[in-house]
Structures are given as C-alpha cells and as structure tokens.
Structure 1
C-alpha cells in the first residue's frame, strides 16, 4: 500500500494529486483553519530571535523535513506488507523547481538509508509570498550547534563556547520532559557564558489527525527525526548567512551504531549520524546551493574520550547530571514514576554509564541497577544489555583485526575514514567492556 502525503502552503493552494486509490495524508502550512496544519512555528521563532528568516530554498527544505517527519510519525509500520518498509509519496511545493528536481534523487537516497522506507518526491512550482530578508542585527551567532539536551550535545556546546564563539544552540522537542532538560542546561550555559549563548528551541509535531480506537498508535521508530533536527539547524544557519557552520556533537561509537545482533541489521538500527547519512546530507546541501559546512568534530572519539577531553571540566561536572541520554525518559509513567529520568537499561544509558565510569564526576540517578538487580535477558528491560553482552563476546572472540566487518555492517564508509572509524569502534567497545567487568567483579 502506497501513501500520498500532500503538502499545501497558504489558503490558495488547492493542489490534489491524481488518485492512486491509496490513503492520503495532508500536511499544511500557513492555512490556519486547515485540520492538517503542521504544529510548528519555526520561521516565526527564527524571526523573533534573529530578526530575519532563511532563504527560499532553506524554507523549502524545512517544509520537506516537517512533511517527512509527519509521515514518519503518523503512518504506522503495521500498515506495511513486511511490517516495516512503507511506501510514501511526498507532493511538495518548492520555489526553485529545477534545483529540487536535480536534488530529488539524493533526498530519496538519504531518506531511504535513514528510515528503511521507499520514498518518492513529486515537486511543483510555488511562488513565495512573504517578506524578504530584513536587516540582520549586529553581534549575531557565528556558529550553530544542535543541542538535544544529551551529554554529547552538552559537551559540544561547552567546547564551542569555551573557544569564545557566540553559538546558536538549536533544540527540538515534541512535548514531554525534553524541554525541561534543555532549559535547565540553557540556564547553566547562560550563567557561565552569558550572551555567547543563543537558545533556539523549536516545537514541531505533525498535524493532529482525528483517530478512532481501532487505529494503530503513532509510529514510535521515528527514524527521520535526525533529518528534521539537521534541517532546523540549517534553517538557522541560513538565516545567519552563507558559510555559517552547523556543528553536530556525537561520539563515533553511537554514530556507527553497529548492530549488536543480526536482528538489528539495516534500518532496524538507527542511523542518526552514520557517516554515509552525513555524506549524503552534505551532498544534498551542495545540490541545493546551501553553503553551510557540516562539522562532526567528535566522530572519531568515544563518549568517554569526549567527557575526559572537554574544555571546561568544572562546568561539565556541574551540568552532567542535568543532561538526558535515556532513549525513553517519559516511559517512567508506566512504573508510576514522574517522567524525565534515566532508565539505566537502554543502550544509550549503558553507553553513558560506561563513559562516566572513570571520570569521577557525579551523574544522575538511574531507575534500574542493571548489575545488582539485572533485568531478565528476554524481557524488554533486559534485551539491550543482553545484546550488548553478545556483541562484546563476539568482538572479543573475533579480535580487532576483524572489526572492519562489524563497522561496515551498518553502512558504507569512505575508505579515507575507515581506519579511524574502526579505531573508535574498538576503543568504544573496550570502554563498555571495562565498565561491565568492573561491576561484575565487585
């Protein structure tokens, strides 16, 4: 079954695709009474904070990203014939048809790799009806950094600010406990670095589509969230001017996200900052004439190395417990706990604990002690730990000389960077193994 996602801009946009007999989902912008209005105010927020807005092509890309994210959330994988791979057609109005038609295959390849779905884009000409650039105020940020509220993004922000840069910290949330962690960290960074810190926190959710009890819940795999996050950063960078860089702070082990078990091969493992995705995103920016360098300065470092080498150790010590790394911080409600804590047993929580292990820094509390009260290996709470143990055992038996096969199992990597990614993968696995052994030896 193929889904048609129709993007419309403004009340005069009455476009409707020729019916293929499949379901249709609308995603609308600047149409206040439309029931399929995307829930966001990105351009208004950018204009309020920076005094201007992105160029037309960056705005096209922003609407594309919101439409893709909306489709990803609203179309359940249960509808797919194989329970995973969806067929999604996006009908998108753009201001430069020729540019987008040329860039379309790149966009399709990028999203297919990222989400594991089959995407098809149909572009049509759209004339922008909004004010052009306003005069930018002085003393604007000289860099943009993605800021999720996680530990990696916190270290990235601290390091940039420690260099004296004025930085726009771009965050995204859809509600829940995430805004609290971001805001608490914003305050700490502002207290330390003052006007160098320019927070830009965006709320983005898909249209609020009416549902009935028999409908599947919203899809929770959300593989395209990183595409939206990257594009939000590009929209801010484009507002600030040509050449403004976008920084993405992510450790190399998480970027590779080597499947821990055969069941997690392919897009079943997230590819949020995988090197191949990054390469495709850079190519897409080039095809769209969006000249913004994409910097991943920690791609060859483990999380522990990022922690130990951070440029303001005192501030990191004070703020580390406020950061959030858990994969599902709001699931605590299921255990009658307030939202917004670390579960302790998910893959990101295990990686975080291993990184913090030797630092001597205080950390946030974890709901579950996976060592003294380990979850059952076949339970939902025990599956990540068990998969991690299997992967470590395989890594130990095969030896570092065969790590290349593990690294390449998650996707293509440039030969120029392969040896460095193999290195960070091996060091990252050893970092986790040392942590797990230390707790078992107690």
Structure 2
C-alpha cells in the first residue's frame, strides 16, 4: 500500500520514502523541500477571481479531488502487485473534517468503481480554508457571474461544444468550467470565442508535479476533479443568483457514458467510467450529503453522439466549430487526432450520421488503411467485433458489464447503446472497413 500524506504547508509533511509520498496541496513548484510533490498551485488564484466566498464544503470537496488526482497520477499501476490495482491510503487535512467523516466509505466506494483501485481516506483537521476573494477588479481580472444561472463542463470536445451551444440557444446563461490541461486551452478558446449568448468561463488546472519517478497516464479519476471544479463554480453562481440549487450540466453522449466493453477482453482496464450513470449518481449523493447545492445533469444520457449532432440547436454554429474540437484519446502525443481510436471513430461516425461535413485533420484519414497494421488496428478490430455481435448478443448483460444501471430506464440505456453501435456500423461500411 502506498501512503500519500497531504498538507498545504510543506513543514507538516514527512520525508519521502519508498512507501510514503508527501504532497503539498496548493503548493508552489520548486519551493520548500526537494522531496515533495505538489498539486493545485494555480487553483487558489483562480478561485479568488470568482469574486465571491465559496463555502467550506466545496473547498473541502476540491481538496479531496486534488488529493485523488495526485494519487492517481503519482502512483503507477505498473508497480501494483497485479500490474493494475493500486492500494492507496490518503491522509489529508480538511477545513471541516466532521462533515466528511461520515462520507468516507461512500467516497471510497465511488472511487473504487471509477478507477478499480482500493482507496482509503484519513481526514484530519487543519485543511485549507476557502480563500478570500479578490476585491479589486482593476487589479485582478475577475470572472463575471452576473446573470448566470447554471454551470456546464467545457472540455474542448465535440459533446461539450454541443452542450454549450444548446444551452445558449435555450436562453440559459452558463459558467463554462474547463479543466485546462496543457494543450487543451487552445481548442477550448477556439470554440468559446464563437459561441452566441451570455456566458462566462472558469478555467482551472490541477497542475500535478511529481518530484521524482514517472507518472501514471491512465487518469481514471479525472472526472472527479472536473466535477469538483464545477461544484466550486456552482457555489459561486449560487452566491450571486440566489438560486436554491444550480444545474451542473455534464454533456456526454449516452454511448460513451455507458462505455460498455466492446469485447470481453476490454472489460476492466480498457473500460473507463468517467461519466457512467452509477458514478454520477454516487457523486450526486455525496454532494447532497455534504450540502453542496448543485444537480448533476447529463441532458444527452439517452442520445448518441450522432443524434446530438443531428439535433444540435444551432447546426451552422456546430459546423463552424467542429474542426476546433478534439475527441482523440491520443492527440497529445502527436498534436493531431489519430482518426482510428475508439473516440475518434465514434466522432467520425457521429458526424457522418448527423450529415455534418468533417474537415478535421486525422493522422489516418482512411480507416480501412489500418486494417493490415497490427500495431494500429486494435481499436478498429474491437469496434468491428462489437458491431458484428450486435445482432446476436443480448444488450442487457452487455451494458451491465460496465456497471449497475437503474431498472426504470434500463431499456433506454440498451437502446442508446445499440443506436451507437449502429452509427459505427454505418460509418465503417462507408469506409470499407466492415
């Protein structure tokens, strides 16, 4: 088991060892000692720019999420006994630990479902308090919250672009919350600058830095950080709008949200659960119990990506911005979308189904060209197998492999899954890849 000890003051952190990893929360890179890792350095300044005091429970939830991100990033799966499942013990101070102690098991269960790891939390007193907001707009560029009525995750992907376009077309005024990993901001800015309507943006980055060793790249818990940033934004919007609860929109197509394993081999390690309905329900329960006033809503839970594109409330605007969106799971390696990973194929199939011109640049423009490339065709082969099995395999147990689903809407989940496979089938046939 790896112990991660957190504190915002490096003087309270123990020396690093093989089994103990000290991490400074909200720390400055290069400051303090040379044996500690840091996370959240830019976060406090960004929160201050909201111009309002956020409640301590939202700050504590963000502290928990940053600690989880640090553990997920700094502890490599390759070092686990089975090469995958890590045992992670997190010791961190909270501003109001008494509020979170009864929720410890709920957090551990939700994160086990999300990442497949074994999580253990030890909450203590002395956590970072909610920062005092900046009071001088002429000295610090504050984020305007006036007139806003909701929050929407804004990643720079196609689904989040459609989500923002649809909200604005409906007359909503969202705070667009972006987790600005290196390279993502450019795409987010390109989409945001042409949006039509009243909105503001809250851009923030966890910015994890490990003092030594290689980091893990699977990042199964990334959505928890995204939701924590959004929860902070929701509390800020609520402080200005005086609404009882704030809608927190997570625009994600239902096929990807379910992310049922395409083949039996992909169950587990190759099946992420970042927006799975069970995980979202678990986090909503935690937010409710912690008195964080936001409702997580995925308006596209029962829509495929193609249906989202076809039914977008401003199709012309979508066509104008789609080339600026990124769907690829590998694009950061080559700074270009590959065109053949599972997210890329779903994107291309969606644009084909929605009859929206796709002039995006892909490393592999023609899908069929990779069928003979043994080092490139794994995702395409998995999609071909799934499409072929669609006619004979029972969709109920298939989608249940990705996690529990509510009985009342189980048929709707089956339908969106089959509809998503059908979109892929049509596209692969059009590409002569099936």
> TM-score normalised to the size of structure 1?
0.89
Report the Cα offset of residue 374 of structure 1. 2.3
Report the Cα offset of residue 361 of structure 1. 2.1
Match of 2:339 in 1: 344
Give, in whole Å, the separation in 2 of the partners of 1:436 and 1:104.
45
Please point out which of 405, 414, 421 is paired with 1:422.
414
| Cα deviation code 1:134-181 (max 9, x no counterpart) | 899772421110011000000000001111222111111331x21111
SS in structure 1 opposite 2:38? coil
Match of 1:37 in 2: 38
Report the Cα offset of residue 311 of structure 1. 0.7
Match of 1:100 in 2: 100
Structure 1 residue 359 corresponds to structure 2 residue 354:
yes
| Cα deviation code 1:215-271 (max 9, x no counterpart) | xx3211110111111111111111222511110000000001010111211353100
SS in structure 2 opposite 1:365? coil
SS in structure 1 opposite 2:54? coil
| Cα deviation code 1:378-428 (max 9, x no counterpart) | 32x210000111111111233xxx210111111100111211101111111
Question: Is the 8 Å Cα contact of residues 26 and 41 (structure 2) preserved in structure 1?
Answer: no
Report the Cα offset of residue 186 of structure 1. 1.5
SS in structure 1 opposite 2:52? coil
Give, in whole Å, the separation in 2 of the partners of 1:376 and 1:278.
39
Match of 1:79 in 2: 79
Report the Cα offset of residue 362 of structure 1. 2.3
Report the Cα offset of residue 133 of structure 1. 6.9
Alignment of 1:4-43 (within 5 A): 4-10=3-9, 14=12, 23-32=19-28, 33-34=31-32, 35-43=36-44
32-41 or 115-124, which moves further after superposition?
32-41
Match of 2:139 in 1: none
Q: In structure 1, list runs of 5 or more residues that go unmatched.
A: 212-216, 333-338
Alignment of 1:50-65 (within 5 A): 50-65=50-65
1:128–1:64 distance in 2 versus 1, CA, 3 Å = closer
| Cα deviation code 1:99-127 (max 9, x no counterpart) | 21111111000110000000000011226
Question: Is the 8 Å Cα contact of residues 25 and 41 (structure 2) preserved in structure 1?
Answer: no
Match of 1:143 in 2: 150
1:267–1:286 distance in 2 versus 1, CA, 3 Å = farther
Give, in whole Å, the separation in 2 of the partners of 1:223 and 1:248.
17
Match of 2:250 in 1: 248
Match of 2:305 in 1: 303
Please point out which of 363, 368, 375 is paired with 2:364.
368
SS in structure 2 opposite 1:266? coil
Match of 1:186 in 2: 192
SS in structure 2 opposite 1:376? coil
Match of 2:231 in 1: 234
> TM-score normalised to the size of structure 2?
0.90
Match of 1:264 in 2: 266
Give, in whole Å, the separation in 1 of the partners of 2:311 and 2:267.
32
RMSD: 2.3
| Cα deviation code 1:11-44 (max 9, x no counterpart) | 6x62659x9x851112213554334332432232
Match of 2:276 in 1: 274
| Cα deviation code 1:291-324 (max 9, x no counterpart) | 2111111000000000011111111111111111
1:200–1:133 distance in 2 versus 1, CA, 3 Å = closer
Give, in whole Å, the separation in 2 of the partners of 1:173 and 1:331.
17
Please point out which of 384, 387, 393 is paired with 2:382.
387
Q: In structure 2, list runs of 5 or more residues that go unmatched.
A: 136-142, 239-243
Please point out which of 286, 289, 298 is paired with 1:287.
289
Question: Is the 8 Å Cα contact of residues 110 and 280 (structure 1) preserved in structure 2?
Answer: yes
Give, in whole Å, the separation in 2 of the partners of 1:71 and 1:440.
43
Please point out which of 198, 201, 204 is paired with 1:199.
201
Question: Is the 8 Å Cα contact of residues 70 and 205 (structure 1) preserved in structure 2?
Answer: no
